[in-house]
A and B are shown apart, each in its own frame.
Chain A
Amino acid sequence: MSVLEVKNLQTSYNGHIALENINFSVNEGEYICLVGENGSGKSTLIKTIVGLHKKDNGEIILNEKLENISYLAQNNLVDVEFPATAKEIIMTGVQKHKVLPFYTKKDYKNFEEICDLLKIKDFVDKRIGNLSGGQRQRIMLGRALIRKPKMLILDEPFSGLDINITKELYEMLDKLNKENKMTIIMATHDLDEINQKNVRVIELSKTIKFDGNITDWKGMN
C-alpha cells in the first residue's frame, strides 16, 4: 500500500528552482535514502513533505495520519542555554493534532520503553544543552519515536556525529524498519553505513537521477 505519493513536484529556494518534475511513491515498510550532492534538493524535498517548505506546483499525498508520522531534523539544538531537560523534550513528541496535549500513563510507559531502547536513562533529567552531540541526537530520535510512528522522515540525522554512534543509530533504524515495519525516508550521504540490502535509493540533482536498489546504486558509484 502506498503511504506517500509525490506527483510532478516543483519547489523553489531563494527564488531558484530547487526541485522539478519529482515523481515517486513510497510503499508501507519501505526504507528510502535520498542522496545527492550538497544543494541537490534532498533537504528541500524532506521539508516540503513534512510541511516546512511550500511547494510551487505538484502534489504530495500522504496516506497516513499526521500522528503516525515523525520528523527528525539535522541539527535540533535551538539554544544551548535553553532550560529544558531531555525528558521534557522527548515528551513533546507526544503532541497530537487537534487533541489537548495532556500526557497519559501510556505516554509515560512509551517514554520508559524509549529510554531502554535508546539507552538514555542516565541523562534524561539533564539539561539538553549539557549533553554531547551524540546524546542529544539520541534524545531527538527519542522525541521522534515516542509516538510510535508508522513513518519516520529524517533529514541527515546523524551528520557530524562520531562514527561509532552513527553506526549504532543506523543499526537501530534498520531494526525499526525490519521488526516494526516502519517506513523510513531519510536524506543522507552515509550510505556506506547502511547494511540493509532492500534499501531503495533516490538520487537527486534538481530532478530524480536514479531510483532503485542500494546494491545497484553502489555498483554504479
Chain B
Amino acid sequence: MDILSLLNYPFVQRALICGIAISFCAAIIGVILVLKKYSMIGHGLGEVGFASLTLAVALNLPPLYVSIPLVIIAAFLIMLISQKKGESGDITIALVSSGALAVGVIVTALTKGFSVDVYNYMFGSILAMSWSDVILSVILSVALIVIYILFYNRLFSITYDEKYAKTCGISVTFYQFLISLITALVVVLGMRLMGTLLISSLIVFPGIIARKLTNSFKGMVILSAIISVVCFIVGILISFVLNLPTGASIVAVYILLLLITTLYNKILD
C-alpha cells in the first residue's frame, strides 16, 4: 500500500492530527508525572474513561460529555486523597482505577449489544476520531503549550522540590490541580485513539526514554515531545500497513525504542 496515498483519507488525516497533538501534550505533561512518580495516573484515568464511555453508551449520550467531567473529577479526587490522607499516589490510583473498571464492566454487562464498542474503547481505533475531536485536540494542545511556557520554571521547581517551592510561597496545590486537569483532558481526548488500557503509555514512555538520554529537565521535555510525535507517526503507519490496532502498534514502537536506548546506555557505560 502506498503510504502517501493514505493521507487522502479523511479518517487518516483526523487520526494523524489528533494523534500528533495528543502525543505532544501527553509527552510534556508526562515528564512531570514520571518524575513525580505519578506514572500510573494515566492508567487509572484511562479506566475511569472506560467506565464513563460505557455509561455514555448506556445512557445514549455523546461520549465526551460524560467522559470529560468524570475523568476530571477522578483526577482531582486522586490528587486530593493523595494530599490530604498522605496516601501514596499509587495506592489512590489503584483504588480509583479498579473501582472504575468494575463500574464499566457492570454497566457493560447490564447493557445489550456492547461487545464491539468495548473492544474499541479498550484497545483504540483510528476510526474513532471525529472533526470535533480534531478541533478539541488542537485547542487543548495550544492551550497546554501556552500554560507550559508561562509556568515552566514554576512547574519545574515543584517537580524537583515541592517543599522548597512551598517555602517560596508557590501554591503547590494549585499547580497539582492544574497538572491533574491537563492529564485528565489528555486522557479523555487520547483514549479513543489509543484505547483506555493503552493511553497511559503515551504519557509514560516518552518521558522514560528521554530521561535515559539527557541530563537536564529542559532536555527531557524537548526530547519527550520529539520522541512521542515520531513514535506516534511510525506506530500509526505500521498499524495502517499491517492492519493492526493503533494503540498497540504505537506501544510496540515505544518498547523497541526503549530497548534500543537502554542498550545504547549500557554500551556507553
| Chains A and B come from one and the same complex | yes
Query: Which residues of chain A have a CB within 8 Å of any CB of chain B?
Result: 50-52, 66-67, 69, 71, 73, 76, 78-79, 81-85, 88-89, 91-98, 100-103, 125-127, 130, 143
Pick the residue among B165, B170, B219 that contacts A83 (CB under 8 A): B219
What are 20 A-B residue pairs whose CB atoms fall within 8 Å in the complex?
A51-B166, A52-B163, A66-B169, A67-B168, A71-B164, A73-B163, A76-B161, A78-B160, A83-B211, A84-B215, A84-B217, A88-B216, A88-B218, A92-B156, A92-B161, A92-B165, A95-B153, A98-B169, A101-B153, A101-B157
Q: Mark B135-179, 1 if CB is under 8 A from A, else 0.
A: 000000000000000110110110011011111111000000000
Give the secondary structure class of B's interface.
helix
Beta-carbon nearest neighbor of A101 in chain B:
B153
Whether the pair B215, A127 counts as a contact (CB closer than 8 A) is yes
Q: With an 8 A cutoff between CB atoms, is B230 at the interface? A: no
A92 to chain B minimum Cβ distance, whole angstroms, is 4
Q: How far is the CB of B93 from chain A (nearest CB, A)?
A: 19
Rounded to whole angstroms, the CA-CA distance of A130 and B216 in the bound complex is: 12
> What are the 4 tightest A-B residue pairs by CB atom distance, in nearest-first order?
A97-B169, A127-B215, A101-B153, A92-B157
Residues of chain B within 8 A (CB-CB) of A73 are 163-164
Interface size class of B (residues with CB under 8 A): 20 to 34
| Contact A78:B161 (CB < 8 A) given known A91-B153, A95-B170, A97-B170 | yes
Could you tell me the distance between the alpha carbons of A130 and B218 in the complex, rounded to whole angstroms? 17
B98 on the A face (CB < 8 A): no
Q: Is B130 an interface residue (CB 8 A)?
A: no
Q: Which residues of A contact B165 (CB under 8 A)?
A: 92, 95
Evaluate contact between A92 and B160: CB separation under 8 angstroms.
yes
**Closest B residue, CB atoms, query A153:** B167
Asked if B88 is an interface residue, CB under 8 A from chain A, the answer is no
Q: A92-B156, A95-B154, A95-B157 are in contact. Are A126 and B215 (CB under 8 A)?
A: yes
Q: Whole-angstrom distance between the alpha carbons of A98 and B166 in the complex?
A: 13
B153→A102 contact, CB < 8 A: yes
Known: A82-B160, A83-B211, A101-B154. A51 touches B167 (CB 8 A): yes
Q: Are B211 and A66 in contact (CB under 8 A)?
A: no
Known A-B contacts A51-B167, A73-B164; the reply to A83 vs B154 at CB < 8 A is: no
Which residue of the partner chain A has the closest CB to B35? A82
Q: Quick check: B217 and A88 within 8 Å, CB to CB? A: yes
A71–B170 alpha-carbon span in the complex (Å): 14
Is B220 engaged at the interface, CB distance under 8 Å to the other chain? yes
| Chain B residues with CB below 8 A from A85, complex form | 215-217
Residue of B whose beta carbon sits closest to that of A79: B35
A167 to B41, CA, bound (A): 45
For residue A138, give the distance in angstroms from its CB to the closest CB of chain B.
16
Type the 1/0 row for B181-219, where 1 means its CB is closer than 8 Å to any CB of A.
Answer: 000000000000000000000000000000100111111
Of all chain A residues, which has the CB nearest B213?
Answer: A83
Q: List B contacts of A79 (CB < 8 A).
A: 35
Q: Kindly state the separation between the CA atoms of A82 and B217 in the bound complex, as whole angstroms.
A: 8
* Complex: chain A residue closest to B168, CB-CB: A95
- Least CB distance from B6 to A in Å reads 36
Q: How far is the CB of B174 from chain A (nearest CB, A)?
A: 12
